[in-house]
Structure 1
């Protein structure tokens, strides 16, 4: 079985389609070959050699135009799109859409958020791989996942100071901190956090250099703090079943307030009001649920 994952190659976009493809392969218990197809900014695409997709999964605007072309070449392939294709609904056999987008189409299925690549085995492997570094930190431990500016949010110097205070407050409580910034984090804030916490033995501050311990942070954390603009990191945190707190940004959530409310209703998400609470909830498993929906539509049971 061959699955094509089509996107513009941006990590946050590609990982949604790739996460769904990997989940489908796991649920079928099938040694699928997953091929990544990247659409460059100039529109150039290099297709996999000697490859015929059985299942096509795309995400992002660049994938929408490719779907129309690929349907003509591969008429027997099953086409799935992640997110809202903005009017091109007939190009896809199935659309996996965020519930907060409120898309109503016969071929659309809503889910909380979007697919991700998190799997229990992946978290366990990452925790074991970075065991020495993590065990050197004080326990209990908190992961602090820091994103950056988006269409709705800004990461201002004021927010930088707020993040600094949050990490310092955790340390004052005796909590070990595993903090990571992203490529969207402003350089001034990245530098400020690194200068204050980079050499603190109670903190593992990851600034992008070397092997990425992100999955290990999720696996080892007793609490997870996430900047509120990053829907992907919030959803990944919620797959762990561990307490998740939002870190405020400068801006307004708009439709994403519906996503935050859905995660709060699931028991995953709470605002941080100064007290560290411990609670449990069923880990968010929407990617697996959508994988089964894809399989059911693509390979319906015989009548």
Structure 2
């Protein structure tokens, strides 16, 4: 089978193959149904936990990190051994989890060590490009813009996530909805990321976004629900609060985060383009998603491929300071991948 087949085709064709709440490292109890391995950043947790829930499994979250100097080595040059893993006692027991979901560079060796140790007793699923031979995992789940190739690779449109129709329906009924809505005015939720390796959020980017939001409000009469993240620069938060804090909702970063409600009840969503996960979660709503493209501090080829793909699919459009409406079929990657995993587990 050729990589890049739709998820539904992979499900039909694939056969078993042989062998804050910032999370803290936990010691795995006896016989947990699923372990999730990562360094614990929000984007990774959202993907792993969303997939585990879609599979229908409780999970134990375990932080994994490589020791120095191994953390600087190419993964292909690192031995599959517990001695390269910091605090490896969390995964050192003799009882095998049935399912291991890993995400990110620091989870690759721990997941492979568990596979080496327990063999067919554990199903290993890695999310994102593992940067080594994907055939060393039972399944690799990677978005098409990562261009990962392999007979066991499940290609998705965007990032996996926790957003489902049930989650959105529940969020729409939460008390936060009354704080965000104003009768007779469209609601535009503004989801903000922050600096990373590819985007610096310079002052000109911040000024441009604020100006476009002001134009949107003046031309459409919309009410804004502005939700920042842990990465959002203080200068951006302050700029938008000073501009919109009196007449609109600007989350203070300390009270309960109404993020899910803001997605669920929005008439449209504006999201900064620095996060595949944020755009993918916004797209799960079926609401128009307007992407604020940012200045690149270094060439962001993967981000470009992702954004081009979502535009071709009719999911997103560039944000140009006006309210637009259109419809599309939201990607259902998380549930499709979960179904493949359920079938693999039932075969084991």
- TM over 0.5, yes or no? yes
Q: Is the 8 A contact 1:140 1:222 kept in 2?
A: yes
Alignment match, 1:283: 330
Kindly indicate which of the two structures has a greater share of residues assigned to strand: 1
Alignment match, 2:309: 262
Equivalent position SS for 2:301: coil
Q: In the aligned structure 1, how far is the partner of 2:100 from the partner of 2:275?
A: 26
Deviates most, 47-56 or 262-271: 47-56
- 1:7-22 correspondence to structure 2 within 5 Å: 7-22=38-53
Relative distance call for 1:132 and 1:51 in structure 2 (3 A) is farther
Equivalent position SS for 2:59: strand
- 1:1-303 correspondence to structure 2 within 5 Å: 2-25=33-56, 32-40=57-65, 43-45=86-88, 47=90, 52-75=96-119, 76-129=121-174, 130-136=176-182, 139-172=185-218, 173-198=220-245, 200-201=246-247, 203-251=248-296, 252-300=299-347
Q: TM-score, normalising length from structure 2?
A: 0.78
Q: In the aligned structure 1, how far is the partner of 2:89 from the partner of 2:162?
A: 24
Q: In the aligned structure 2, how far is the partner of 1:155 from the partner of 1:287?
A: 30
Q: In the aligned structure 1, how far is the partner of 2:208 from the partner of 2:110?
A: 43
Gaps of 5+ in 1: 26-31
Q: In the aligned structure 1, how far is the partner of 2:201 from the partner of 2:183?
A: 28
- Cα drift, residue 277 of structure 1: 2.1
Relative distance call for 1:122 and 1:278 in structure 2 (3 A) is same
- Cα drift, residue 300 of structure 1: 4.1
Equivalent position SS for 1:215: helix
Aligned length: 293
- Cα drift, residue 37 of structure 1: 1.1
What does the per-residue CA deviation read over 1:272-303, in whole Å, with 9 as the maximum and x for residues that have no partner?
Answer: 344422111112211111112222334349xx
